[in-house]
Structure 1
Amino acid sequence: MSAASEWRTERNVAARARLDRALPGIFPAPVLRHALSRPLIPPTPRLAVESYWRAHLLRADRLARALATRSGHPEGWTWRLGTEKGSGLAASFRMPPSPFREPAHARGKGHCCICGQPVYRFGWHRDLWGAGVPNKNARWHAACVAAWKLWVAPSDQVKVLKAHQRHRCAASGKRLFKTAEVDHRVPLYRVWREHRDDPWPTLLGFWGSPNLQVVNRVVHVEKCGREAGERALSRQVALLRTAFPEDRAEEAAWEPLPVDGAG
């Protein structure tokens, strides 16, 4: 046995003993099975839960959005951007809206600041232990943490998304190359422009797996080029609306600009 294998065995024996001591009488069976199958066994129940959701990102994404649907659209909330400290607002439309991080809509201790639902022991989303009250020290579900990381940095999870698509390009159907890239089917600038008033739980789907795809780089470059042209046209139309009647603005955007010296 190599030194590394010997170290791992000793470490796992100690971690298993520590985990067994800390385990409550009731614990999610899939999480425990996952923990005991790891090359390095998590030594605490909370770490076991976190490890489980990291290994099941798409499941975490579905659960986080389902919990958000259970919370519903907060009354009086609208999707806004801002940079003021303590406002809870995102500075860019590329970040998923999170109303429960805003002071006006926060649900207080023991509730997840992403989905708004109660957080129980070990960051779990259900009260398996019959406590009747959430964990006042918790602000995130373990599943929502994993989902949030997928939403804000989907390119970091390209391996998971490739496997989900069976290593086929979502646009061309061809086999994905090593250089394949993660893309939003509906670009986020269009979500901000066209879907800003959608119910909040619906909005989250634009950051989650329903709107994520892996495409080969050449396909992604072409798509980005089309989207850049669309954004440029939208900006041009907005500028021309100040000089033309509204029904002429878009038409004028397509007209060639006069050459210097021309009439």
Structure 2
Amino acid sequence: MHALARPFIPPTPRRAVESYWRQHPVRADQLARALAALSSAPEGWVWRSGSRKSSGAPLSFRAPPAPFREKTHARGPGYCCVCGQPVFRLGWHRDLWGDAHPNRNATWHGCCVAAWKLWTAPSDHVRHLRRLQNHRCAATGARLGKDAEVDHRVPLFRVWRDAEGAGRTWPALLTYWGVPNLQVINRSAHVEKCGVESAARARLRQAAATERNAGGLAATRALRDSC
């Protein structure tokens, strides 16, 4: 029904599936995180950033953690590199055809493709997010203006810093890249929020530097006293 309602009907069933998920990124996000919950994190996997793209590890904390995209934990063709679940015909997440085996030519679910695009480029989906908020600013409650921007409620740098201490594990971490942690706010509110977050990061850096300096002084005194 979705394909037939489009201005230009997709020429193939696979394109129709892709079109459906592209038009419903919020549903794709929910389903992708639910599928990831069925897989759980591979044994021995640790969220870390990589120095090379070839490793598959994210290059910064802004990229969502994806253990099955890393070479050491990839499940290979027929399994989704985002959630780790089997991929069936047309990139579908369920075996509607009764084949009893995954599609060995696929490594992505259609929903996971759409979800990944939402996680990595949420600003491209502002139209859908504005609709979820009834076109109201999540910070002030005012009407969203044309300059409204997408923001993470919990900053990603804080997720990266506190993930281990707070016991957050994959796939629960994906929530911070998904719709539950996304909001659309007016630019003025976004600027103010970014200022508060920048000040908080500066205080953390200053505290860390003070702690390092104190540790260095203590080590120097201990060495001097031992001489």
Please report the TM-score for the alignment, with normalisation by the length of structure 2. 0.92
Distance 1:161 1:152 in 2: 15
Distance 2:11 2:35 in 1: 28
Deviation at 1:37, TM superposition (A): 0.3
Does 1:240 pair with 2:210?
Answer: yes
Kindly report which structure 2 residues correspond to 1:6-155, keeping only aligned pairs within 5 A, or say none.
33-155=1-123
Which is further off, 133-142 or 166-175?
166-175
Among candidates 104, 122, 130, match of residue 162 of structure 1: 130
Distance 2:140 2:121 in 1: 24
**Higher relative contact order (CA closer than 8 Å, sequence separation 6+):** 2
Q: Give every structure 1 segment of 4 or more consecutive aligned residues whose post-TM-superposition deviation is greater than 6 Å.
A: none
- Backbone CA RMSD of aligned residues: 1.2
CA deviation digits over 1:184-224, x for unaligned, max 9? 00000000001145110110000000000001111100000
Does 1:178 pair with 2:164?
Answer: no
Which is greater in Rg?
1
Distance 1:173 1:122 in 2: 41
Q: Which amino acid aligns with 1:72?
A: S
CA deviation digits over 1:76-103, x for unaligned, max 9? 1110101224211111100001100112
Distance 2:64 2:213 in 1: 35
What residue is the counterpart of 1:227 in the other structure? 197
Distance 2:162 2:212 in 1: 21
Deviation at 1:72, TM superposition (A): 0.9
Distance 1:120 1:242 in 2: 53
Which is further off, 183-192 or 69-78?
69-78
Is 2:86–2:102's contact at 8 Å kept on the other side of the alignment? Answer: yes
Distance 1:99 1:129 in 2: 29
Query: Where does the alignment leave 5 or more consecutive residues of structure 1 unmatched?
Result: 1-32, 246-263
Deviation at 1:174, TM superposition (A): 1.1
Is 2:53–2:59's contact at 8 Å kept on the other side of the alignment? Answer: no
Question: Percent same amino acid among aligned pairs?
Answer: 64
What residue is the counterpart of 2:188 in the other structure? 218
Please report the TM-score for the alignment, with normalisation by the length of structure 1. 0.79
Residues 85 and 151 (structure 1), Cα distance of their counterparts in 2 relative to 1, 3 Å cut: closer
